[in-house]
Amino acid sequence: MTSCIFCDILFGIAPASFIQRDDLCAAFMDIRPVNPGHVLVVPHAHAALVSELDAVSIGHMLQVAQRVDVALRASGIKCEGVNLIISDGAVAGQEVPHVHLHVIPRFRGDGHHFRFSPAYFTKTPASELGKNAESLAEWNVAIGMKPDDANFYINMGSVLQKLGKTDESQEAFKKAATLNPASAGMGFYNRAAILTGPGRVPAGARSRRPGGSCPTTSAASPPTAWWAR
Ligand SMILES: [Zn+2]
């Protein structure tokens, strides 16, 4: 057993009702469905937060979820609409610290509702929207490639290994070990568990003070391997 129920399911240690599995992720039934037909799409790479998951896996998850969405609507399971939800962090409702995408069939009168605080109904001034957009746009550029984050290379190494690209996966793990020596000499799932605990902030973000200016130069020298394109 590992300390992660989703890793246990993906390794075959714990049971689940699978819909599909491939090199990058799996889709299986939620054991506590919001509505019948509730599916979880889970990447093989163990990452607690969306920010820690490699770009290939996160993109593939949505493609799998699209197929599940279509299947639900065609299956005869009661489904008049679908919620696609990722709860990213405990405060956002994430219960298992391994990224997962909920695909939830919905129908009129199913009794489930999102609830918003009264603040939601107050119109935000354009000046505040603009200020937030400017800040996020700067961060978006600065952390886009995350070249200084060992997690990026660990997760990518695990993906490459599953694809049979041994040399390239070893290169990715070596790069991770260079960035964080604590990740060297261990199995990749263990390394990922050490480096991707709940609530972890990307390395690039930790180096900057909240509210401070956002140096875009930190995104220099991005990796040139195929997985970075
Ligand atoms: Zn896991």
Confidence bin at 204 (pLDDT 50/70/90):
very low
Structure tokens at 99: 């990224």
Task: Please tell me the distance between residue 71's alpha carbon and the centre of ligand 1 in angstroms.
Answer: 26
139 in any annotated domain: yes
Tell me, what's the pLDDT at 182?
A: 67
| Mean pLDDT calculated for residue range 123-146 | 77
Average pLDDT of the chain?
78
How confident is the model at residue 135, as a pLDDT?
78
Picking from 76, 75, 78, the residue whose alpha carbon sits closest to that of residue 67 is: 75
Compute the distance from residue 191 Cα to the ligand 1 centre, in Å: 12
Whether 144 maps to a domain, the answer reads: yes
Output the pTM of the full model: 0.64
Reported as type and span, the H/E element at residue 23 is none
Asked whether residue 10 falls in the same domain as residue 95, the answer is yes
The most confident of 38-47, 136-145, 206-215, 216-225, by mean pLDDT: 38-47
Question: 227 in a domain, yes or no?
Answer: no
Residue 122 placed within a domain: no
What is the set of active-site residues? 100
Domain that holds residue 158: 130-220
Q: How far is the CA of 98 from the centre of ligand 1 (A)?
A: 5
Distance CA 6, CA 11 (A): 9
- Give the number of other CB atoms < 10 A from CB of residue 84: 15
